Structure 1
Amino acid sequence: MLEPAYQADVVIVGAGVAGLSAAHRLTSQGVTVAVLEAAPCVGGRMSTEKVDGFRLDRIGQLLSTAYPELRLAPGLDGLVLRPFAPGVLLHGDGRHHRVDAPAGARSARGALHAVRALASAPRGMPGPRLVAASRRAASRRATFRVLPGAGQGTASRAARAAAPLGGAVDQARLGAALTRFSTVPVERLLARPELPAGQSLAARGLPARTIDGFLRPLLAALLCDPALTTSSRCADLALRAFAGGRLCVPEGGAETLPELLAQTLPTGTVHTGVRVTSVATTSVTTAEHGEIRCRAVLLATDARAAAELLPGLRVPDFHPVTVVHHTTDEPPRTGSALLLDADRGGPVAHTAVISEVDPSRAPSGRALISSTVLGTPPPDLETAVRTHLGRLYGTPTHRWETLAVHHTREAVPAMPAPHDLRRPVRLLAGLYVCGDHRDTSTVQGALHSAHRAATAIVRDLGVAGSMHRADPLPTTRAA
């Protein structure tokens, strides 16, 4: 028999969410795909450690039900999202202050009512396949489920006696601003003048107390950028997602999302433990199996690994993230709220009793508290975090057990102004690149860059139905 001209239409290097999502889009167009991953498992930075029945995310980036690609990306029909209590819980001046996002609000008055609804319990989701709380989102094609958190009512009771930040006028301005963010078209946001996010806040028309006590800690948590050097356009997109959806986490841990993508690809598509040493437009070379021939190559690794294979690619700066996981049998009474420190009085940027949000992350009878430190952690991290958590939750923490401390130096690609939110994914015909470093540094950005790359590949290959039955790769391990 004649030797085949190539062994797959497209070889994708990297089995993170971007590479796996691109593989889904390509296979749905009849393109044969081989995904090569150097690590023994898929997921990249979206990984979860399992310790004594606990599921501990290494980075724990916050997702939003308003991310469009979570609805549009093929392969995520079975994704279950666990939302935090609506809005956030702020710790400031020694008290807890509840701020709700004005979901569905259409006026400043409606936004004011939403922000001031401190004592109202969140409404349950009316259907198992509901995308978000709003009717508009529910009318779209649902591809994941949002399930209510286990302890959302507790957070409302804890915040019931606390006054919101600022007076009634400040609340109205904040509510109106969030409402505008939830409805303004993305194109208009991207057309605004670009500044560092911290500098742009002063132009919002909001009082300094609202900015410093709410917007700064919220944006730091959403962007993993405590200094707020991120482009104001990226910050606006983050606020838009916050105002138009619910902050959430995947049920079972961050690894659930890439594992679901991998499991729903055709058998034999994903190969782990295969290290790519060089790439070209029609082949890749691996340490284990030599050359693998193809019609196009898509680099879907992190930015540094991509630049090692293609030295001309720019490597951005990164925001380091440290996640500290504790457990106790007496959980704080904050329910499923995301707790931010408005005073910035310690290393913890945000924290949550994550087992109240997603009970599958902790064994029965135990609470899991996951806390995020942004930037370079202090040398006495464990002591500083434990002391800070004691103030934030208003409860002794000396008996809490530390389960894990995960420090990721290159956790989130930086997006300083000016930032190109749509960096090219087509380098030349036959060679493409995707990942959160080509879009926004979020799961939404990674998935959207994969969408753009797959579209470019299909267009360049001139796909019209099935192209080629992939010949098996030599003795690779399928994920």
Structure 2
Amino acid sequence: MLEPAYQADVVVVGAGIAGLSAAHRLTSAGVSTAVLEAAPCVGGRMSTEKVDGFRLDRIGQLLFTSYPELRLTPGFEGLVLRAFAPGVLLHSDGRRHRAGAPASGRSARGALHVVRALASAPRSPVAAAPRTAAPLGGPVDQARLSTALARIAATPVERLLARPDLPAAAALAERGVPARTVEGFLRPLLAALLCDPDLTTSSRCADLALHAFARGRLCLPEGGAESVPELLARSLPPGTVHTGVRVTSVATNAVTTAEHGVVRCRAVLLATDARAAAELLPGLRVPDFHPVTVVHHTTDEPPQTGASLLLDADRGGPVAHTAVLSRIDPSRAPAGRALISSTVLGRPPEGVDTAVRMHLSRLYGTSTRRWETLAVHHTPEAVPAMRPPHDLRRPVRLLAGLYVCGDHRDTSTVQGALHSARRAAAAVLADLGAAASLHRADPAPSLPTAA
């Protein structure tokens, strides 16, 4: 059977959010696109396991309502975000304190307001501990931090990226932030946002995380992390995404697959994770990674912390942050049950579930002995490390016809993955020329039949 000169204008390798969002931009410009994914489903690391009516994310990605790419990416019109309560809860010296919430709905974004422990917290030995100062220090320290967050919220991103690049911990020390404020608020917050408990991350990336925190609300996609890539995949032209297709080699005008032989094209965009991309293109650098472990529990008597993200300012156990996710997104648990998801950063301890239960008992001020463990998800290469000097705009155009995108080319966040996809799609379109002048393949590319 005669075959066309090419089956698609562009082949995208990888159906994570970077590859799918790039495919949206390409198809919207009239460029026929085939997305090839080795796994049986789309999403990559943004996956959700379903257990007895629960929706359990394998990596607890935290999003922000202030992420620009969530508004700018085609295909996200139907995305539903469930917001946490404003700010975060800090556990310190046996009590919980709210921090980072605006003083009022109309206050400047980024203003800091600290209140005492939640009045609704259960009366228990932990909750009844002697009164202590908030973990941010005294009123002067709190006022300084309020001013600093308001300032970073108003600072243009370009100015943040022009700052000297240091390890985040060193940058905080150099800026004269009181040690109590760093240890009591900024360190646990940044550790949660960057998945980096030692704050070795680039200070520019840390500033971007604080910028997003000060300007928006922490949130989760309704229905689990997988709902984001699934939404993108459903809104692409039918036949664009092909799962269960393993790419074994790439060139500027073709990819070779294990199942369907050679697929000819005008350009190839690698949108896999960093390690898989380097296996196809050995010259690409593989970064270090931050491991993440997420432990999911359920109970019929949930802790009284509302829809809040709870951080441990004392670092008294393995849990970096935890939340009753069913309070934020009820679709993640069946009726009458609560879903508590807790994140451990770095190498997990032996007997991680037991260690997490003991820590959660102190954080929530309640017994966890009757909680049921639903799943323990350990991902050794969860988040690419962003140590300084970190290039937030690593090249996406390797050469004419060959491109790469993903969170390892930008910041190691959903925002970074989407932004890198936008840069890569723009480079592809610029090299291919105006969409109206291209010789088109079929709008929904078909793969050759496997031999």
| TM bracket (short chain) | over 0.9
Offset of residue 206 of structure 1 = 2.3
**Partner Cα separation in structure 1 for residue 17 and residue 340 of structure 2:** 26
- Answering whether residue 349 of structure 2 is matched by residue 381 of structure 1, we say no
Aligned residues of 1:37 and 1:275 also touching (Cα < 8 A): yes
Name the aligned partner's letter for residue 376 of structure 2.
V
Offset of residue 202 of structure 1 = 1.1
What is the aligned counterpart of 1:173 among 144, 149, 158?
A: 144
Offset of residue 280 of structure 1 = 0.1
- Answering whether residue 448 of structure 2 is matched by residue 474 of structure 1, we say yes
Aligned residues of 1:19 and 1:35 also touching (Cα < 8 A): yes
Offset of residue 200 of structure 1 = 0.8
Cross-structure match for 2:167: 196
Q: How does 1:281-292 map to 2 (within 5 A)?
A: 281-292=252-263
**Partner Cα separation in structure 1 for residue 207 and residue 43 of structure 2:** 28
What is the identity percentage for the equivalent residue pairs of Structure 1 and Structure 2?
A: 79
Aligned residues of 1:97 and 1:163 also touching (Cα < 8 A): no
Aligned residues of 1:49 and 1:57 also touching (Cα < 8 A): yes
Cross-structure match for 1:343: 314
Name the aligned partner's letter for residue 379 of structure 1.
E
Aligned residues of 1:335 and 1:353 also touching (Cα < 8 A): yes
Aligned residues of 1:105 and 1:179 also touching (Cα < 8 A): no
**Partner Cα separation in structure 2 for residue 255 and residue 2 of structure 1:** 39
Q: Which runs of 5+ in 2 are unaligned?
A: none
Aligned residues of 2:261 and 2:448 also touching (Cα < 8 A): no
Cross-structure match for 2:393: 422
Moved over 6 A (4+): none
Aligned residues of 2:263 and 2:448 also touching (Cα < 8 A): no
Aligned residues of 1:34 and 1:271 also touching (Cα < 8 A): yes
CA offset digits 1:206-260 (Å, max 9, x no partner): 2111110100000000000011100000000000000000001100000000000
CA offset digits 1:131-172 (Å, max 9, x no partner): xxxxxxxxxxxxxxxxxxxxxx968x999x985332211111
TM-score by length of 1: 0.88
Cross-structure match for 1:26: 26
**Partner Cα separation in structure 1 for residue 120 and residue 403 of structure 2:** 48
Aligned residues of 1:31 and 1:467 also touching (Cα < 8 A): no
Cross-structure match for 2:49: 49
Deviates more, 1:176-185 or 1:288-297: 176-185
3-state DSSP class of the match of 2:435? coil
TM-score by length of 2: 0.94
Aligned-CA RMSD value: 2.1
Name the aligned partner's letter for residue 56 of structure 2.
L
Cross-structure match for 2:158: 187
Offset of residue 450 of structure 1 = 0.2
3-state DSSP class of the match of 2:6? coil
**Partner Cα separation in structure 2 for residue 457 and residue 98 of structure 1:** 46
Aligned residues of 1:84 and 1:336 also touching (Cα < 8 A): yes
Aligned residues of 1:336 and 1:352 also touching (Cα < 8 A): yes
Q: How does 1:14-163 map to 2 (within 5 A)?
A: 14-102=14-102, 105-106=107-108, 111=111, 114-116=112-114
Aligned residues of 1:276 and 1:284 also touching (Cα < 8 A): yes
CA offset digits 1:334-357 (Å, max 9, x no partner): 011000000000000000000001
- Answering whether residue 13 of structure 2 is matched by residue 13 of structure 1, we say yes
Cross-structure match for 2:190: 219
Q: Which runs of 5+ in 1 are unaligned?
A: 121-152
Cross-structure match for 1:310: 281
**Partner Cα separation in structure 2 for residue 400 and residue 431 of structure 1:** 50
